[in-house]
């Protein structure tokens, strides 16, 4: 029907997933308990965060003098960190908004976590200007509210004030975008919750989402419009951040290339951070079937392209400095590449321009290890880009007598480490309590891009509907000769080898058994020989009889059983060997089958 | 007055869509459909009117733009005009280039937030709201159609729904 997708497109969801499998896989990390490695990483992040809190308290109580700033270099690590964190945030919006407008389905596996990353990193970014104010409790002075000082207003000509509006709009709109998308997924967890406390919490978080047809219609429209709004918004945010520099008259800052150059750099670093986080997360919470190698490869391609754009921007800057004929401008760039901070410049060049070029090789961009390493390298490089732009442009200003160097104090370092800690504290808590994949969205593409349906289409042709999870085929379809109708209207049409009448099964269960047999193979008494199932661990005469009742006679059939089938058998027979007993059945049956 | 409805549960989205079309063709009244994910074409099959949320977003955006213009005009031009760096602020239009970033941001801010608030209120979603899906499986992999019994024969209606492929059929007495 409407689920056709060209067979040449690789499946976005692997592992033969059904709708229910998606639910279970997304809910698992939330319903399960944290393992040891989570606690270890969380503790490290928490310690780093607390160190950062200590440095914030020290800065605020002592004054900005606690930082390494001096008369010449008045902006250094704080703004570097601010721009770096804001930039990282951009990938989340790009993935969820721009890729939505372009109808890129692969975004659905990663948009939730990328948006979470956006919000958490913009929170980190926002901390720096507020701390830099020195008296953060007066941060509300940034907001134009009538005040007791007479007509004392903000200066709306200042890019720093534009930044206040841009960052707050960006943070709040991203939050709303993220949360409104979370409602159906929180509802899914709420409806699966067994304990009343969890049910209550997720009930509150889901805003009572019920999934009415009208709600979904509005939901989709809201997300489309939000994507349309967020796309220019995300471009405006880093544009305005770049105005903080570009509208000044400092050589090296005063360039018109800054807005696109900053936006490309932001997307570049943001995708690298998404890559870092997701490569770890897909492993830890077993989401390899949703965040596939293909996703990693596509993100690598974005990293490579934006990295190349950034490289072009670096070279353009150099050429324009030379072409402008302005000596100060020329010196600023000469000083970057050959001055005392040459190491930072070449580190930036290596990490940002050269390292992503290896992604031209398919072998490298589909390698998890290589992707992970390069994602880290890019993040280091992008931090140094901001450092190079800010510090090397300032440290040798118009007056050679005031030339100086910048060295960070332990407070500078502590604040930066602290925000990294804070970021990971938030992200780790998110990974344990939130549905990390937009499961409702993934379910909409399962029939077009899931490998299960792709295989069915390859086997049966594109025009046929594959209601393979279906228990009851509609009468209309059987009359039209589209499919053969199974089910109670043809009462005796269940598999002959099933002798389940004594069990009092429902029609649904009988159909499920049929479906299972079709998958694992059917025992044909005329040709096949029944195997001795009692050779399997924990199978005595009773269990063997049970297996015979549902038509399982051969090792080959046992070898093909999946977890879903075991669950079905457990639900049919009250007494059935548990997980610990039957875990080696498949492998054992395989061995025995081959011995025969 | 108590009214009777039938809950028909389907296990596949394509089946549900087909069933919706058949049920509407037979002139039965579908009260509501609960699904775990958006189904393409379901709103049209149900005959739902298109949503006007995008229009409200546009209007809210205009409001945001108006607020931004009024705010900056009052602060920078009328209340306390200043000569900053030799660039005096005496006329809104001469100073407007510097105001464009915030005009844009406030347009987006108003548009996005007010649209989402409208969505939440229209769909009656807020914290502490009790969920109203009749079966918890409708957020997992089941699809529920609620049909008004009205003065139709229950048996006949059930049989009909059964033939549309419903996996479960329940008669519910609504308060």
CATH number at residue A277: 1.20.1630.10
A424 with A518, same domain: the answer is no
- Cβ–Cβ gap B98/A243 under 8 Å: no
Hey, which residues 455-474 in chain A have their CB within 8 Å of chain B?
A: 465, 467, 469-474
Record: contact B33-A212, CB cut-off 8 A: yes
Which residues from chain B sit within 8 angstroms of residue A180, using beta carbons?
Answer: 116, 119-120
CA distance A481 to chain B (A): 15
Q: Are residues A380 and A506 in the same domain?
A: no
Q: Are residues A486 and A420 in the same domain?
A: no
SS3 A174: helix
Tokens 């997304």 sit on residue: A26
Which of B40, B104, B116 minimises the CB distance to A236?
A: B104
Residues A179 and A104 in one domain: yes
- Residue A523 sits in the same domain as residue A426: no
The answer to whether A467 contacts B12, with C-beta atoms less than 8 Å apart, is yes
Residue B172 belongs to what H/E stretch?
Answer: strand B168-174
- Flag whether A575 is in a domain: yes
pLDDT average per 10 residues of sequence, chain A (596 residues): 78 89 91 87 95 95 92 91 93 88 90 93 94 91 82 87 94 94 94 91 94 94 94 94 92 91 93 93 88 93 94 93 92 93 94 93 93 94 94 90 93 95 95 93 90 81 58 67 50 64 71 80 80 82 83 85 82 77 80 75
Check residues A567 and B97 and name the one with the higher pLDDT.
Answer: B97
Q: What angle is formed at CA A484 by the lines to CA A18 and CA B26, rounded to 5 degrees?
A: 85
B97 shares contact with chain A (CB less than 8 Å): no
Alpha carbons A211 and A472: distance in angstroms, whole number:
23
- The nearest CA of chain B is from the CA of A105 a distance in Å of 15
Task: Kindly state whether A115 is in contact with chain B, defined as any CB-CB distance less than 8 angstroms.
Answer: no
Integer-rounded Cα radius of gyration of chain A: 30
**Cα–Cα distances in Å, from B93 out to A144, B72, B101?**
21, 11, 14
Give the span between the Cα atoms of A270 and A118, in whole angstroms: 8
**Quick check: is A2 in a domain?**
no
CA distance A162 to B118: 27
A181 touches chain B (CB under 8 A): no
Number of domains making up chain A: 2
Q: What confidence score (pLDDT) does residue A294 get?
A: 93
The predicted pLDDT at position A447 comes to: 87
Does one domain contain both A403 and A270? yes
**Contact by Cβ (8 Å): A448, A82:** no
Asked if A160 and A244 touch (Cβ cutoff 8 Å), the reply is yes
* Interchain CB distance below 8 Å, B37 and A157: no
User: In this structure, are residues A406 and A78 in contact, taking their beta carbons and an 8 Å threshold?
Assistant: no
A224 within a domain of the structure (yes/no): yes
Q: Where are the domains of chain B?
A: 3-36+141-174, 54-122
DSSP letters for A293-349:
HHHHHHHHHHHHHHHHHHHHHHHHHHHHHHHH--HHHHHHHHHHHHSTTHHHHHHHH
ipTM of this model? Answer: 0.94
Q: Using an 8 Å Cβ cutoff, are A334 and A282 in contact?
A: no
- Mark yes or no for CB contact B53/A225 under 8 Å: yes
CA distance linking residue A529 with residue B43, whole number of Å: 54
Chain A residues in contact with B132 by the CB 8 A cut-off are 208, 210
Q: Is residue A467 part of a domain?
A: no
The answer to whether residues A305 and A365 touch, using CB atoms and an 8 Å cutoff, is: no
| Exposure letters A424-447 (e unless 16+ CB within 10 A, then b) | bbbbbebbeebbbbbbbbbbbbbb
| Predicted pLDDT at A504 | 67
Say if A3 falls within a structural domain.
Answer: no
A339 in the same domain as A484: no
Question: Using N-to-C axis directions, what is the helix angle for A107-132 and A36-62, rounded to 10°?
Answer: 30
Same domain, A419 and A537: no
Q: How far away is chain B from the Cα of A135, in angstroms, using its nearest Cα?
A: 25
Q: What was the pLDDT predicted at A591? A: 80
What is the pLDDT at residue A494? 66
pLDDT computed for residue B87 by the predictor: 78
Judging contacts by C-beta atoms under 8 Å, the chain A residues touching residue B138 are 191, 210-211
Pick the residue from chain B with its C-alpha nearest to A180.
B116
- State which of A400, A433, A449 marks the end of a domain: A449
The domain B3-36+141-174 having CATH identifier 3.40.640.10: the answer here is: no
Question: Rounded to whole angstroms, how far apart are CA atoms A301 and A94?
Answer: 14
What is the pLDDT at residue A557?
86
Are A440 and A552 contained in the same domain? Answer: no
CB-CB under 8 Å, B41 with A229: no
Inter-chain touch B165–A470, beta carbons under 8 Å? yes
What is d(CA A148, CA A446) in angstroms, rounded to the nearest whole number?
59
The residues near A53 (Cβ < 8 Å, ≥ 6 apart) are A418
Q: Answer yes or no: is A150 within a domain.
A: no
Closest CA of chain A from B34, distance in Å: 5
Closest-CA residue of chain B to A19: B141
Task: Find the domain containing A416 and state its range.
Answer: 19-143+157-449
- Non-local CB neighbours of A88 within 8 Å, separated by 6+ positions: A117, A121, A266, A269, A270, A273, A379
Shared domain check, A73 and A179: yes
The DSSP output letter for B9 is E
Return the pLDDT at A237.
93
B92 touches chain A (CB under 8 A): no
A439 and A487 share a domain? Answer: no
Chain B contact probe: residue of A474, A477, A510 with most B CBs at under 10 A: A474
Q: Both A50 and A170 in a single domain?
A: yes
Contacting residues of A for B54, CB less than 8 Å apart: 221, 224-225
d(CA B84, CA B61): 30
């Amino acid at each position: 029907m409407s689920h056709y997708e060209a067979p040449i497109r690789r499946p976005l969801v692997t592992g033969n997933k059904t709708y229910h499998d998606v639910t279970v896989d997304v809910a698992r990390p939330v319903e399960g308990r944290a393992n040891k490695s989570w606690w270890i990483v969380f503790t490290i992040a928490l310690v780093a965060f607390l160190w950062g809190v200590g440095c914030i308290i020290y800065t605020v109580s002592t004054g900005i003098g606690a930082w390494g700033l001096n008369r010449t270099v008045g902006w250094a690590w704080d703004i570097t960190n601010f721009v770096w964190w804001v930039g990282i945030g951009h990938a989340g919006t790009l993935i969820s908004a721009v890729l939505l407008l372009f109808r890129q389905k692969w975004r659905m596996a990663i948009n939730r976590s990328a948006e979470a990353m956006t919000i958490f990193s913009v929170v980190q970014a926002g901390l720096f200007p507020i701390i830099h104010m020195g008296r953060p409790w007066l941060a509300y002075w940034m907001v134009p509210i009538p005040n007791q000082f007479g007509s004392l207003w903000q200066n709306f000509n200042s890019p720093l004030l534009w930044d206040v509006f841009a960052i707050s709009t960006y943070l709040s709109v991203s939050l709303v975008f993220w949360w409104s998308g979370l409602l159906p997924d929180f509802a899914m967890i709420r409806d699966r919750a067994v304990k009343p406390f969890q049910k209550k919490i997720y009930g509150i978080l889901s805003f009572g989402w019920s999934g009415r047809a009208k709600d979904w219609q509005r939901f989709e429209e809201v997300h489309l419009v939000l994507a349309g709004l967020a796309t220019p918004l995300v471009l405006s945010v880093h544009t305005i951040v770049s105005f903080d520099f570009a509208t000044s008259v400092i050589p090296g800052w005063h360039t018109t290339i800054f807005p696109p150059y900053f936006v490309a750099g932001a997307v570049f670093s943001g995708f690298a951070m998404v890559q870092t986080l997701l490569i770890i997360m897909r492993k830890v919470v077993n989401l390899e079937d949703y965040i596939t190698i293909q996703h990693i490869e596509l993100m690598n391609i974005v990293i490579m392209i934006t990295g190349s754009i950034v490289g072009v921007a670096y070279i353009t800057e150099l050429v324009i400095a030379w072409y402008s004929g302005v000596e100060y401008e020329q010196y600023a760039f000469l000083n970057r590449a050959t001055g005392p901070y040459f190491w930072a410049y070449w580190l930036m060049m290596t990490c940002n321009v050269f390292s992503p070029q290896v992604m031209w090789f398919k072998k490298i961009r589909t390698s998890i290890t290589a992707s992970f390493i390069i994602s880290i390298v890019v993040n280091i490089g992008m931090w140094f880009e901001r450092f190079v732009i800010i510090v090397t442009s300032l440290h040798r200003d118009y007056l050679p007598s005031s030339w100086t160097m910048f060295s960070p104090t332990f407070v500078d370092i502590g604040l930066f480490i602290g925000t990294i800690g804070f970021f990971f504290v938030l992200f780790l808590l998110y990974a344990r309590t939130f549905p990390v994949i937009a499961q409702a969205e993934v379910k909409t593409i399962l029939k077009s891009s899931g490998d299960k349906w792709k295989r069915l289409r390859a086997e049966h042709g594109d025009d046929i509907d594959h209601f393979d999870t279906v228990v009851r085929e509609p009468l209309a379809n059987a009359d039209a000769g589209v499919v053969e109708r199974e089910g109670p209207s043809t009462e005796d049409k269940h598999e002959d080898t099933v002798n389940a009448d004594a069990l009092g099964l429902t029609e649904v269960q009988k159909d499920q058994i049929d479906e299972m047999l079709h998958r694992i193979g059917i025992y044909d008494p005329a040709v096949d020989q029944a195997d001795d199932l009692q050779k399997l661990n924990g199978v005595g005469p009773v269990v063997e009889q049970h297996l015979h009742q549902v038509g399982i006679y051969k090792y080959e059939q046992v070898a093909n059983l999946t977890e879903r089938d075991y669950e079905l058998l457990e639900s049919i027979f009250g007494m059935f060997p548990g997980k610990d007993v039957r875990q080696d059945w498949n492998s054992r049956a395989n061995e025995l089958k081959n011995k025969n | 007055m108590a009214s009777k409805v039938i809950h028909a549960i389907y296990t596949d989205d394509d089946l549900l869509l087909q069933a919706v079309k058949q049920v509407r063709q037979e002139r039965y009244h579908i009260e509501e459909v609960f699904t775990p994910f958006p189904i393409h074409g379901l709103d049209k099959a149900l005959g739902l009117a298109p949503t006007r949320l995008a229009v409200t977003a546009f209007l809210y955006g205009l409001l945001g733009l108006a607020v931004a213009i009024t705010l900056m005009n009052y602060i920078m031009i009328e209340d306390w005009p200043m000569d900053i760096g030799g660039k005096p602020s005496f006329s809104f239009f001469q100073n407007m280039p510097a105001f464009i970033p915030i005009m844009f941001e406030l347009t987006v801010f108003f548009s996005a937030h007010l649209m989402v608030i409208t969505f939440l209120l229209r769909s009656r979603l807020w914290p502490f709201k009790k969920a109203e899906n009749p079966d918890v499986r409708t957020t997992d992999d089941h699809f529920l159609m609620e049909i008004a019994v009205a003065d139709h024969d229950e048996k006949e209606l059930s049989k009909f729904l059964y033939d549309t492929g419903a996996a479960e059929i329940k008669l519910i007495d609504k308060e």
